[in-house]
Amino acid sequence: MKCSVCKKPAIIKLRAHNVSFCEKCLQDFVKRRVREAINNFKMITKDDKILVAVSGGKDSLAVWEILHNMGYDVDGFHIDLGIDSYSELSTEKSIEFSKKLDRKLIIADVRDHFDGKNIFEIAKKAGRVTCSVCGLIKRYLMNSSAYKGGYTVLVTGHNLDDESAALFGNLMFWRDNYLASQYPVLPATDPKLIRKVKPLIYLTEREIAAYNIVKGIDYIYDECPFAEGATSIFMKKELNNIEKKSPGMKLKLLKGFFRRHDVFKELSENSNNLETNHYCSVCGFPTMADDKCAYCRLIDKVKG
């Protein structure tokens, strides 16, 4: 198998694009895809002060490395969920990588915010599903830390597999509000809400994993133990089966959705008033609630 570009021995075949790449041309391809996503959705500029959410996994480390090497001003933000050896390793990998890039890494430990409780204990005390509580805490801490640190953009490592699986799930259940907010750029609708972008949306997990191997990026292979049995994993498997028979379907599905995104935005705006002109009476961040935000209510519940 030869590289489709330079004819040197290829290391990977990408059926969705009908190409094979050597190590060097794979790196060029990955960077091109990231640049394309950034340009198509006007995600970031060199003037932005960027904070990337870092888990220590392949996606977050890759997007950090790529943006840093492209010359963007980008620091990392890591949340320690307190999940035994998984969190220890993910924090370790994140710290090691920040040293390698010589960039700042902000670390938030959920136990410092919730009376020493880890994510599982917080969810148990609140009587809620771990991942839903985790999502709420991550969103809140990422946004508030970015705001307090003077960052203008928040980057996450969501890739093509994540986004197409989320889309698949949202379409199956016709979750209009989720469909309206599923987009590679979430604008800052309030001075205290930081704009969010996803530069890896055109790249699959396999392409990113191959990039990390070629670049010698040392990431955590294990998934969070709570990810087991998640609907998104089931959706990913089903989409991979379709992709096997029809390479390129994931990309077509997602790109087609982005082209029609206005329809879902309108639908959601017509059925809901999504304006958030309230501010939490405790922390002062924007909320849909009349008084305290969901995060501050969670703190009350866990500490109470």
Using only the alpha carbons of the chain, give its radius of gyration. 20
Nearest CB to ligand Q46, comparing residues 26 and 119: 119
Distance CA 274, CA 188 (A): 14
Find out whether 32 and 231 touch, Cβ atoms under 8 Å. Answer: no
Which residues are registered as beta bridge partners of 293?
Answer: none
Q: Is 304 exposed, middle or buried (0-12, 13-18, 19+ CB in 10 A)?
A: exposed
CB contact set of 115 (below 8 Å; sequence gap of 6+) = 302, 303
- Tell which residue, 103, 35, 38, has the closest CA to residue 68: 103
Question: Strand 286-287 vs strand 278-279: parallel, antiparallel, or unpaired?
Answer: antiparallel
Nearest CB to ligand Q46, comparing residues 166 and 210: 166
Write the interaction track for ligand Q46 spanning residues 171-200; mark x where CB under 6 A is met and - where it is not: ------------------------------
Q: Does 224 bind ligand Q46 (CB under 6 A)?
A: yes
280 binds, among ligand Q46, Zn ion, none (CB under 5 to 8 A by kind): Zn ion
Which residue stretch of 100-108, 154-162, 197-205, 220-228 sits at the interface with ligand Q46 (rule: CB under 6 A)?
220-228
Phi-psi label, residue 75: left if phi above 0, alpha if psi -120 to 50, beta otherwise? beta
Nearest CB to ligand Q46, comparing residues 105 and 224: 224
Shortest Å, Cβ 296 to Zn ion: 3
Write the interaction track for ligand Q46 spanning residues 110-149; mark x where CB under 6 A is met and - where it is not: ---------x----------xx--xx--------------
Considering only residues 228 through 287, tell me which ones interact with Zn ion, judged by CB under 5 A. Answer: 280, 282-283
Distance CA 249, CA 165 (A): 12
293 binds, among ligand Q46, Zn ion, none (CB under 5 to 8 A by kind): Zn ion
Query: Which one of 30, 296, 298, 302 is in contact with Zn ion (CB under 5 A)?
Result: 296
Find out whether 278 and 290 touch, Cβ atoms under 8 Å. Answer: yes
16 binds, among Zn ion, ligand Q46, none (CB under 5 to 8 A by kind): none
Q: Does 153 bind ligand Q46 (CB under 6 A)?
A: no
Residues that bind ligand Q46 (CB under 6 A): 119, 130-131, 134-135, 224, 226-227
Chain positions contacting Zn ion, by CB under 5 A = 280, 282-283, 293, 296
